[in-house]
Amino acid sequence: MKLSICSYSFHRLLAAGEQDIFKYITDCKELGCTHLDPWNSHFAPLKESDIAFKEGRVASAEVSPQEKAYLEKVKEAAGAVGMPFGCIAVDGAHIYEPTEAARRANRALAYKWLDVAGQLGTAQVRIDAGGPPEMPDDVFAIIVEGYHDVIARAREKGIEVLVENHWGPTNNPDNVVRLMEAVDGLGLLFDTNNWIKERQEEAWNMCAKYARASHVKTFCFDEEGNEPTVDIPKVMHILLDTGFDGVWGIESVPREVDEYEGVKRTIALMKRVLGEA
């Protein structure tokens, strides 16, 4: 079982100063992961420089020499536990914004995070589509052009670009299919939960074939260790039936237990589904 934990699963610990990228790496090793799946906020110095760039306090989005040195330490930490970086989930570099200036700023950040991924030897980077839920034709055209540009740059580094059903237009499976069919080389980071609520199971069946990575999302657990709000066994089997052989990524957002316990219970549930318990 190829297993990762999206580091957003530990966002409360991160905010409390109780975890950073280095502890995330050792935690993943102790929890039995095979791959690292960081959220870009865990790279705190780089996320801070993203904000400074967006606010106009620094002129360039490029990775600084100090940040490159920091990333070398991160790479060494991952190497020490023998885990590769699978996918970096990048917030703040989405393709669509209503103004050209905002799109240029986001594109510069997308390029930056491709450079980060290249330095770390990362296989995939998630860049959101952005835009309104309806995704009208003019917005769609901008998103398609943007992905073509980012994918071409990523290919030079051996990196696969993923879109996630995350927010804006991509909660709608029709829009996800439209994007996947229009953009050669674009993969899907398949989140089990981020769909229009009334169409969730329909979305699983429509979009599982595009999945190149996964976020199995959990919120709570019953006495048997099952997730009563999302049919995790059903969605995992839909992915398996389409031939999914990517990393099984966890995105746990526990309501009743701490973040470590939420991850542990999700791992146990997934292993039962896959017959590895």
User: What is the pairing mode between strands 124-127 and 160-164?
Assistant: parallel
Sheet holding 87-90, edge to edge: 3-5, 248-252, 211-218, 187-191, 160-164, 124-127, 87-90
The domain in which residue 99 lies consists of 3-273
In degrees to the nearest 10, what's the CA dihedral of 267, 270, 276, 277? 60
Give start and end residues of each alpha helix (H) in 223-258: 232-241
- State the total domains in the chain: 1
Tell me how far apart the alpha carbons of residues 25 and 263 are, in angstroms, rounded to a whole number.
Answer: 14
We report the CATH number of the domain holding residue 47 as: 3.20.20.150
Residue 277: per-residue pLDDT: 57
* Residue 139, CB-side half-sphere exposure with 13 Å CA sphere: 17
pLDDT tens-digit profile, the chain (277 residues) = 999 999 999 999 999 999 999 999 999 999 999 999 999 999 999 999 999 999 999 999 999 999 999 999 999 999 999 999 999 999 999 999 999 999 999 999 999 999 999 999 999 999 999 999 999 999 999 999 999 999 999 999 999 999 999 999 999 999 999 999 999 999 999 999 999 999 999 999 999 999 999 999 999 999 999 999 999 999 999 999 999 999 999 999 999 999 999 999 999 999 999 998 5
Sort 245 into a burial class: Cβ within 10 Å, 0-12 / 13-18 / 19+.
Answer: exposed
- CB under 8 Å to 270, separation ≥6 — which residues? 1, 3, 216, 232, 236, 248, 250
- CB under 8 Å to 57, separation ≥6 — which residues? none
Q: Which amino acid is at 189?
A: L
Give start and end residues of each alpha helix (H) in 224-258: 232-241
Assigned token pair, 232: 């995790």
Beta strands in 108-174 (DSSP E): 124-127, 160-164
